[in-house]
Amino acid sequence: MPLEDTEIGQILVKQSYLSEEELNSALLEAKGGKVPLMDVLIEQGLINPKLVQSALAEHYKLGFFDLQTNPPSGEEISSLPEDVARKYFVIVVEKAEGSVTVATTDPQQEGLEEIIRINLDKEEAVLPDDDEEDEEDKKKGKKKKGKGDKEDESEKKDDKKEDKKSEVKEEAPNQSSAEADSDSGQEKEEEKKEEPKSKKKKKSGGLFGLGKKEEEQEKFKGTINYVYASKEG
């Protein structure tokens, strides 16, 4: 989850960029004017965007990467699908043999590394939400049976009872013909038993419902290094 302004304020205090009094004063002004805390602190000249970015990089124990002075190449940018880059605020800034460096605003996002490994150098994004939405659609499709459905079921049961009664009445005169056909039916059953049964292959449930070991093997298995970069660059 992205950090709130108040959390960033506490980080700045902890790292001695702000005093507790300065932060509290800025919080009151931000609340009264209904403006972001960071805007108040910058307007008061207590901080600047670069200082905040450096403080957050220090908080995450990562190096700070300036996307404006060191813009990644087109090849590096396209290393991750756009949907992944936008959703997780990540961008590849350096690629080497067996390793990749990724700039992010939040390295603590759940499952981030697995997302990068699955999507690196892929054209189409593979996101966990895709399968979650499918499951939700399936659940919505299974509606609870209403009163009308129960009435329909009871009518169907009554019809089945009537059909069974008529079947019992017709069964007696037709017994001889049924016995005559039983021999041929048994032969057919024996033929079916002799046919080799085809074994169904079980699909392996891969990560995010991929279900294919081949796709899992395509995951990036090298080293992923992280650096901090702000959304604004």
pLDDT value of position 181: 54
CA-only gyration radius of the chain, Å:
33
pLDDT value of position 138: 56
**CA angle centred on 109, ends 120 and 223, rounded to 5°:** 40
- Its pTM surpasses 0.95: no
Which of the listed ranges 53-62, 134-143, 146-155 does the model predict with the highest average pLDDT?
53-62
pLDDT tops 80 at residue 213? no
pLDDT tops 90 at residue 52? yes
Closest among 210, 214, 19, 10 to 115, alpha carbons compared: 210
Domain boundaries, the chain: 5-59, 64-133+217-228
- Residue 188 pLDDT class (50, 70, 90 cuts): low
More confident residue, 207 or 54: 54
- Give the integer Cα–Cα distance in Å for 141 and 85: 32
Closest among 98, 119, 121, 71 to 225, alpha carbons compared: 98
pLDDT tops 50 at residue 170? yes
Element spanning 93, H or E: strand 90-96
Kindly report the number of other CB atoms within 10 A of residue 60's CB atom.
18
- Give the integer Cα–Cα distance in Å for 56 and 229: 9
